[in-house]
Structure formats: structure tokens, C-alpha cells
Structure 1
Amino acid sequence: MKQTSPGDKILSIDIGGSHVKATILNHEGALQMEYEKIVTPPSPKPKQLVEVIQTLVKAFPVYDKISVGFPGYVKNGVIFTAPNLGTDAFKGFDLAKALEKALGKPARVVNDADMQGLGVVDGKGFEMVVTLGTGFGTALLSDGYLLPHLEISQLPIRKGKNYDEYIGEKALEKEGDVKWNKRVKNVIEILKKVFNYDTLYIGGGNARKITFKLDANIKLTSNRDGIKGGARLWKEDTREHLITSKKNQ
């Protein structure tokens, strides 16, 4: 499939549990318009989600390619899990193919934290990206290249809870900011010991609610920065590494 050329415009879409966000990027990832968003329907069916995206981008300027970050495990554009949207409905759904048919442009779909990682990392050493939103997203990168995706959010952490349940949106609403911050701090300590990252990036809508002091090698990022990963997803070197990683799984 053709890679990007300098004149290409990329429709970059971030699908979240609460909103679907989108913008147009140039070849280098610079925003060509302010990103817009629309509410994600509760427990949407795949067809409904595609229709929501069509509605959101209907009046967008012309674009050449589509990049999508999806909150779950994705392989070759096909959804395997969707913890916060409904795995049963989405399992086996080829979202890339569905969007190509609906929007008429070539599409690539990856995990949402993976796409955010491509947009925010410095590309130096072993970097980890986590997103604090409806759930808990993670991405791992080595010298700027995505490593095979791991659904760390579904691992147990305490008292029968997985990471999604421990520090996701519902936990924040139930436990309040103070207790939630203690939990996030605990999770960061675990990540330090398990991954020994060089840099940790924290994004997602709830990252702004962190009140404790972060280590020098931890950076807060915005959705605006993360959605820029949609451009890198179409760069040849990144795509080749993604394909190689999948073959070695």
C-alpha cells in the first residue's frame, strides 16, 4: 500500500470511550485544523461507530489517508478486544476495511495508546506511554518504533480488579480525586519496577487530575499531541517495523 508523500493530508481519528475526536494532519503531523469531537454512543455496535465517524468528518477538508486509534487490541486493522466499548460486538470486526468502504480512502487502525505514543515520544531509548481516560491504555516504544502491543489494562492488580477497574473513569468517579491519585501513584511505581522505562508519558483526559509530583523522566501529554501520531502511522519506516513486530508475535 502506498506510503505518504509530502503533499498528503491524513484524517487522524482517536476513538475513546466518551468521545470520538478527529482532525486533519499534514505529512509531518502538523494540525491543519482544530480537532473536533462527537460523543461516543454507549456500547455502540460497529456499524453505529462507523456512522458516528462519518457524521463527525462529513464537513472536513479533503484528505488522502485515514489513521485511527481504537481502545482495544487491534491486529492488521481487525479488532480483537474492546474492553470499554463491548468486546463481544467488536471482536473480529475489520474496522480498517469498514472505514475504507465508508470514507473511500485507505485506512490504518492501531490501538489508541499506540497511536498516541507515535505522536508524543522523543524516539530515544525505551519509552512508555499510558493514557488515563475511560480505561487505562499503554504503549511501548524502542527508539521511536512501536513494540508489539500488550493489553496491560486487563491484567489484575488488586482485589480482583484489573488496571481499567483500578484507575479508570469509573474508579475516579467512585473513589474521588485523592484516593484515585494514590492509586495512580501506586501504578507508576509498579511500571517503574516492571518496565524500567527511560521516559514515561502520561496522557488521556484524566492526566490533568494528577496532583502529586512526577519524576523528572515522566511527562504529561495532551490529546492534541497524541492525535499527531496519525501521520507517523503512515511513514514507511514505522509501518515496516509494525509489520515485522506482528510477524514475530
Structure 2
Amino acid sequence: MATTTTLSIDIGGSKIKACTLSKTGKILQDYVKTPTPQPATPEKVLAAIKELVKDFKYSRISTGFPGYVRDGIVHTAPNLGTSAWAGVNLAEELMMTLGKPTRVINDADMLGLGCVSGKGFEMMITLGTGFGTAFYLDGKVLPHLEVAHHPVHKGEDYDKYIGEATYNDIGKKKWNKRMQRVISIMKTVFNYDRLYIGGGLARKLDFPLDDNIELVTNIDGIDGGIQLWEQ
């Protein structure tokens, strides 16, 4: 349908962002954002989204969520409060709140859908409040793995080892040393054809990257919300 307009929502640990996109991925209404409510209960997040997009026009919704999501249902939300979110059918709740067909996947999954080349085995990681990961085979998103919660050092998982709180605590130099180790682990464990790195902390990387590693922004992956409906 030529008039299809997609509302793309990115729920983050600190901010919720939204924009609308044409069928070809062109931004129609630019990003607006609001602080993520604290505590970030489902009720408060849904209310914040409703207020954020009240002036937007759209025919369908794509949402990236910071946790484990299957079939639109949230199972974990480490940076929002898993106990409040576990079992919430976010796709259904958003559809009821905003009145349009809705799809929800992990936020790294959705960003990567807009970035990957569609050739071979590709991996997306996001560096921000936590550590997001996503995997693709010939452009198709694969089942989500919460790599972030695998222990990486002295019982610490990746969220703790290289998350934003740790960056602020240990500083850029030590954090970059940790990131060199993390990328080495990803390369050895997953043998990706191409790795994409996004998120707010990606711009803090200060060491040379392999030729098959690419830094990306939210704008680079803007049409992930479109691709989600093509999956």
C-alpha cells in the first residue's frame, strides 16, 4: 500500500524515541524523545509513548525494546525492571493504546535490520546502558540471544563489564581496553562475516577496527522498522 506509514519507536533505558517513516524508509516526522519514566513500569511507559506520539500520523507500528522479546511478548527487561515486564504482551498493549497493528522485537534486532547488508552471517552489537546483540543470516533476523548476561569477567556479565555506568566509573581508556577484549571474544565465538556497532557509546571507541567492522548510528538503521514488517 503506497500510503503505508510506519511509526518507529525505540524504548531505551534512559529515553524513548519515535519518528514516522515512509514505505521506503524516508523520515516523515522527525525524531521526538522523552525521558524513560522512573520507575519504568509498563503502564508509565505506555502512557509516555501515547503522549510522545499524539501528533503523529501512521498506519502501523514497529517497536524496539531493551530486553528479550518473543512473538511480541516481553520476557526480560534488565534495564527497565524485569519483574514488572515479564509476560507483558507489549505488541498487544501498544496496539490497544495506539490503535494500529504493532510488531515488537529487541531494540538491537531492529537497529540491525536497517543496517545489515543481507549477505552471510552478520552481527549487531549496541553499546549504551547495556550491551545489545543481534544476529542475521542473509538479512533474516535469527532467534535472539541475551549474550549481555553471559559472565565475561569475575562473575560480571557484559552489561556490568562495559555498560554506561562502568564507562562513567572507569573512564574512556580502561573502557576501550575492555572493548578490545570484548570484540576479540565476539570474533572468536561467533565468526561473523560482518559486525556492526551502534549505540551511544560506540563513538567512544578509539582503537582501529577490522575491515569487516562498521560503526553505525540510529539514522543508519532508521528503516529497521520497515524491514521488521518484511521479515
- TM-score bracket, normalised by the shorter chain, equals over 0.9
Equivalents in 1 of 2:39, 2:109: separation in Å? 22
Partner of 2:142: 147
Tell which deviates more after alignment, 65-74 or 38-47. 38-47
Contact 1:126-1:198 within 8 A present in 2 as well: yes
- TM-score of the two chains, using structure 2 as the length reference: 0.98
**What is the aligned partner in structure 2 of residue 53 from structure 1?**
49
User: Hey, what does 2:21 align to over in structure 1?
Assistant: 25
Partner of 1:242: none
Superposition deviation, residue 30 in structure 1: 1.9
- Following superposition, the deviation at residue 32 of structure 1 comes to 1.4
Residue 128 (1) aligns with residue 128 (2): no
Matched with 2:37 is: 41
Name 1:165's counterpart in structure 2: 160
Tell me how far apart the structure 1 counterparts of residues 37 and 154 of structure 2 sit (CA, whole Å). 30
Higher relative contact order (CA 8 A, sep 6+): 1
Q: Which among 102, 106, 117 is matched to residue 107 of structure 1?
A: 102
Partner of 1:190: 185
The TM-score normalised by the length of structure 1 is: 0.91
Report the AA paired with residue 176 of structure 1: G
> Which structure dedicates a bigger proportion of its chain to strand?
2
Match of 2:4 in 1: 8
In structure 1, what is the Cα distance between the partners aligned to 2:204 and 2:95?
Answer: 37
State the AA in 2 paired with 1:164.
D
Aligned residues: 231
CA RMSD of aligned residues (A): 0.9
Give how far 1:21 is off.
0.8
Which of 119, 122, 146 in structure 1 is aligned with 2:114? 119
Deviating above 6 A after TM superposition, structure 1's stretches of 4 or more consecutive aligned residues are none
Give 2:206's match in structure 1, choosing from 188, 211, 217: 211
State the Cα deviation string for residues 75-100 of structure 1 (Å, max 9, x = none).
11110000100000000011111111
- Partner amino acid for 2:17? K
Output the amino acid matched with 1:125: G
More helix by share: 1
Distance (Å, rounded) in 2 between the aligned partners of 1:80 and 1:216? 35
Once the two structures are TM-superposed, the CA of residue 7 in structure 1 deviates from its matched residue by 2.2
Quick one: percent identity of the two aligned structures?
A: 55
Q: Does the 8 A contact of 1:12 with 1:230 survive in 2?
A: yes
Q: CA deviation at 1:8?
A: 0.2
Using the alignment, how far apart are the partners of 2:108 and 2:115 within structure 1? 10
One-letter code of the match for 1:36? Answer: V
Q: Distance in 2 between matches of 1:119 and 1:101?
A: 26
Shift, 1:6, TM fit: 3.1
Aligned match of 1:74: 69
Match of 1:231 among 215, 223, 226: 226
Q: Distance in 2 between matches of 1:19 and 1:227?
A: 17
